[in-house]
Amino acid sequence: MDIEEVRSRFAKHFNGSKGQVYASPGRINLIGEHTDYNGGFVFPGAVEQGMVAEVKPNGTRTIRAYSIDLKDYDEFDLDDEKGPKASHFRYIFGVAREMMKLGVEVGGFDTAFAGDVPLGAGMSSSAALESCFAFALNDLFGQNKVSKMDLAKVGQATEHIYLGLNCGIMDQFASVHGKAGQLMRLDCRSGEFEYFPFNPKGYKLVLVNSCVKHELVGSPYNDRRKSCENVVAAINKKFGTKAETLRDCTWEQIEAVKGDCSEVDIRRANFVMGEKDRVLAVCEALEKGDYETVGQKMYETHTGLSKDYEVSCEELDFLNDVAKACGVTGSRIMGGGFGGCTINLVKDKLYDKFTQTAVEKFEQKYGKKPVIIPVVIGDGARKLA
């Protein structure tokens, strides 16, 4: 997103005034899907695409916000619990309210914002928006006292309370903590994380966006989380334990409550257990430069997300099959599912053939072109000017 464009729109809408400019990115995730809300591991990185916002305190209790992309304007009061209706404004309202809960004396502000994270692609444009405003309000009203992890939690709470999506922490975490050229392995139970330089020699990461609109708010995402919670509750009941998430449970315990849960819930819990282990296996393989194993784990994840967790769709399964047939090292659905992109680990020499074939075959079958998005791992939330 061009900062000058945001600057000129802001000036136009707010009487020629000038604020501070902030940015925060979307994310990819190499592996570790639906593990975050189960206390497991994830392995995301920030991307270069993100959200840019110019923000200026206005000395009132009102937020005046202009979405440049949607050409939509609204004003809403910080102290009016209802907040705005449109989701793009609710993210901003939720972040402001959650920052206030942390003791930040948020005042009214004017803002114009725009982004280049493709919407509905599973690259978390919503986390980019939340993290951008959490970072900005911390800087403008909170003397940057709120820690990065708490800024990520502000975004997550916004999803839960203001949008009704019971997501995990991965997307907001990645948007806030990202570093150019580095993936991050996060333990979602302890909050500990490690940066992993990611520059696979001879390989590239590329997203293929099916353009099947992935919209998690109102999707069966919350049901998936509920399935996992059902199994944890059954285990606690049977064993008198106090497990908080599947991370605190064992395969044997899941097997033992088979008769107490639905077959679907057990299948989903088993997927999560396997996925948690796959993240660790991928990290180990990466350290050895063993990209074949990384790729094989990605395919396993795809199969699990498609057959067991049931968050794929026909188009994504098709793209996964095309990748396999082309000899791509690893390929899988990325993000929450129900549409969006596949993420593919491709040998440099196969890159052109694969991307061309994916576009051609997909267009032949579905009558529209998927969008190829090369992955560049970028920086997290920051002040631009």
| Residues identified as active-site | 171
Min CB(43)–ligand GAF separation in Å: 10
110 or 159, CB closer to ligand GAF?
Answer: 159
336 or 378, CB closer to ligand GAF?
Answer: 336
Q: Write out the DSSP string of 126-147.
A: HHHHHHHHHHHHHHHHSTT-S-
Tally helices (H) and strands (E) across the chain: 11, 13
89 or 221, CB closer to ligand GAF?
Answer: 221
Min CB(327)–ligand GAF separation in Å: 27
Q: Is 27 helix (H, G, I), strand (E, B) or coil?
A: strand
Which value, to the nearest 10 degrees, does the dihedral of the CA atoms of residues 143, 146, 152, 154 take? -90
Residues that bind ligand GAF (CB under 6 A): 33-34, 36-37, 124, 167-168, 170-171, 216, 335-336
170 or 273, CB closer to ligand GAF?
Answer: 170
Name the token pair of 251.
Answer: 């395969």
CB atoms near residue 314 (< 10 Å): 12
230 or 355, CB closer to ligand GAF?
Answer: 230
Tracing tokens 């404004």 back to the chain, one arrives at 89
Q: Is 354 helix (H, G, I), strand (E, B) or coil?
A: helix
DSSP label at residue 178? -
DSSP label at residue 343? E
Cβ-count burial 124-157 (b if 16+ within 10 Å, e if not): bbbbbbbbbbbbbbbbbbbeeebebbebbbbbbb
Min CB(375)–ligand GAF separation in Å: 16
Min CB(190)–ligand GAF separation in Å: 17
Min CB(173)–ligand GAF separation in Å: 9
57 or 220, CB closer to ligand GAF?
Answer: 220
What lies within 8 Å, CB to CB, of 242 at 6+ separation is 236, 248
Min CB(213)–ligand GAF separation in Å: 14
Residue 351 burial (10 A CB sphere; 0-12, 13-18, 19+): middle
31 or 68, CB closer to ligand GAF?
Answer: 31
Tell me the angle at which helices 263-288 and 221-239 cross, rounded to the nearest 10 degrees: 100
Contact 292, 327 (CB under 8 A): no
Closest listed residue to residue 338, CA positions, set 222, 206, 170: 222
**Alpha-helix residue ranges (DSSP H) falling in the chain:** 3-13, 87-101, 125-141, 148-158, 170-177, 221-239, 251-256, 263-288, 291-303, 314-326, 351-366
Min CB(77)–ligand GAF separation in Å: 28
Contact 177, 378 (CB under 8 A): no
